[in-house]
C-alpha cells in the first residue's frame, strides 16, 4: 500500500520564497530517500505552500520524516505564521 505525506504551511512573509528554497534544497534530498515515488512542492505569492510526497510504504515515509523534518524545520524557522500541518494518508487510488 502506498502513502501520501502532505505538509502545508503559511509563511508570515507573504511570498513564495520559502517554498522556492524548499524546492531547490529539499526536493533532491527527499527524492534520494528510499521509497520516494514522487514529490511536489507548491506555493503561491501569498505565502501558502506545502510539500506532497508519495511513498511506497508507511515505513519509508516515517523513516524519511526523521531525516527530512529537521531540515524542513530549519528552512521554515522564523518564517511561519503557525506550525506546519503534517498528515500521512493511505493512497486509495493512483
Q: Which CATH class is domain 3-89?
A: alpha beta
pLDDT of 53 strictly over 90: yes
* CA 56 – CA 39 distance, rounded (Å): 12
Phi, psi of 77 (to 5 degrees): -55, 125
Q: Is 72 helix (H, G, I), strand (E, B) or coil?
A: helix
Q: Which residue has the higher pLDDT, 46 or 13?
A: 46
Banded pLDDT at 79 (limits 50, 70, 90)? confident
Rounded to an integer, the average pLDDT of 82-87 is: 93
* CA 61 – CA 35 distance, rounded (Å): 7
pLDDT of res. 5? 98
Answer yes or no: pTM beyond 0.85: yes
pLDDT of res. 16? 77
Name the percent of the chain lying above pLDDT 90.
Answer: 65
pLDDT of 89 strictly over 80: yes
CA-nearest of 3, 5, 2 to 67 is 5
Kindly state the DSSP code that residue 29 receives in the 8-state scheme.
H
CB atoms within 10 A of CB 61: 21
* CA 14 – CA 69 distance, rounded (Å): 22
Amino acid at each position: 500500500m502506498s502513502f501520501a505525506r502532505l505538509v502545508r504551511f503559511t509563511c508570515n512573509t507573504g511570498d513564495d520564497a520559502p517554498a522556492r528554497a524548499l524546492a531547490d534544497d529539499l526536493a533532491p534530498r527527499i527524492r534520494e530517500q528510499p521509497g520516494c515515488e514522487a514529490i511536489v512542492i507548491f506555493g503561491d505569492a501569498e505565502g501558502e505552500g506545502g510539500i506532497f510526497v508519495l511513498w511506497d510504504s508507511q515505513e519509508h515515509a516515517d523513516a524519511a520524516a526523521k531525516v527530512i523534518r529537521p531540515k524542513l524545520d530549519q528552512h521554515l524557522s522564523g518564517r511561519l505564521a503557525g506550525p506546519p500541518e503534517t498528515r500521512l494518508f493511505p493512497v486509495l487510488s493512483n
